[in-house]
Copies of this chain bind each other. A is one copy, B any other.
Amino acid sequence: MLEDGKEFEKKGRYDGISNIPCTPSDIYAVKPIGVVQSCFQEKFATPRQPGLVKDSQAKITLFSEYMPEHSLSGLAGFTHIWAIGWMHLNTNKNFRPKIHPPRLQGKKMGVFATRSPHRPNPIAISVAKIEKIEGNSIYVSGLDFINGTPILDIKPYLRLCDCIPDAKDGWVEENAFPQLTVEFSPQAKEDLEAINRHGLKELIEETLSSDPRNRRDSSQMGDRHDMGFFIDSYDVHFAIENGKAVVLRIEEGKQFVKKFRRDKR
């Protein structure tokens, strides 16, 4: 019924709105209801969308204040949830209306036409598959949240209204992530064998195949530059060589420390 925007405004609807206290200087308070434990330890190499690294596992633990034994009851009948997260590592101070999505390799896009974390309110929505629910915890796969992400809400995924099979994905549809072939060096193969952790190889492959570098990384850290990222407590080192991602070595039992690790050798 709003087909004619002018008519809509003429009818005094803006008057209705001015009665409602909503101005750009308003602030609302949100609080974490729980926290994520995830295999991804830092922004670098955390998947850019949910489901990209299907083998990734995470655990969402609710604070006892939210009485998970009652508030989660009935959730196990669903296969998927929406996790609403607070992107706590977002360091943006000023609003930028356009950003450089990694898919576009230099071109800019309006921030509200992207799922970039660099937004006015660092709220993330991510669909994840429920693996199991146990006590105060939801075990999920496919979540693209960094370890320690505060959780603001959990909602069941409703296929009924959330799944739109004929939706068109705009610029994303025509700009798939560049897929990298992933290879393991002899050292990395040895490390994998020594670590002997089920699924680690697949997790590294899925993570690297989407090329975790952003545009600046790609230009500054070109071929054969030693780059690292953490999967759980495994410090995975790789380099790009002739357009392939080569895993150099995997160091075990490391503690992730936040610093500009990519320059470390």
A71 touches B112 (CB 8 A): yes
Interface membership of chain A positions 1-36, coded 1 if the CB is closer than 8 angstroms to chain B and 0 otherwise: 111010010011110110110111111111111010
Interface 0/1 of A120-146, CB less than 8 Å to B:
110101010001001001010000000
For residue A154, CB closer than 8 A to chain B, the reply is yes
A-B pairs with beta carbons under 8 Å apart, 10 shown: A16-B255, A31-B121, A51-B161, A73-B110, A74-B109, A75-B110, A77-B168, A78-B113, A112-B153, A159-B169
Given A24-B65, A27-B29, A78-B167, output 12 extra A-B contacts at Cβ < 8 Å: A1-B199, A17-B147, A17-B148, A22-B88, A22-B148, A24-B32, A28-B86, A74-B170, A74-B171, A75-B112, A75-B113, A113-B156
Q: Which residue of B lies closest to A202 (CB)?
A: B1
Residues of B within 8 Å of A166, CB to CB, are 79
Tell me whether B162 and A72 are in contact (CB under 8 A): no
**Min C-beta distance of A14 to chain B, whole Å:** 8
Q: Which of A22, A98, A172, A255 gathers most chain B CB within 10 Å? A: A22
Q: For A69, give the chain B residue with the smallest CB separation.
A: B97
Docked Cα-Cα span, A197 to B7, in Å, equals: 12
A82 near B157: Cβ-Cβ < 8 Å: no
A33 vs B120: C-alpha distance in the bound complex, in angstroms?
A: 8
Do residues B169 and A158 form an inter-chain contact, with CB atoms below 8 A?
Answer: yes
Asked whether A260 is an interface residue with its Cβ less than 8 Å from the other chain, the reply is no
B82 touches A154 (CB 8 A): no
User: Is A111 interfacial (CB-CB < 8 Å)?
Assistant: yes
Chain A, range 152-194, C-beta contacts under 8 Å to B: 152-173
Chain B residues with CB below 8 A from A24, complex form: 31-33, 63, 65
* Interface assignment of A214: CB less than 8 Å from any CB of chain B: no
Query: What distance in Å separates the Cβ of A37 from its nearest Cβ neighbour in chain B?
Result: 5
Q: Is the CB of A5 within 8 A of B172?
A: no
A59 at interface, CB cutoff 8 A: yes
A39 within 8 A of B: yes
Q: Which of A51, A80, A121 has the most CB of B within 10 A?
A: A121
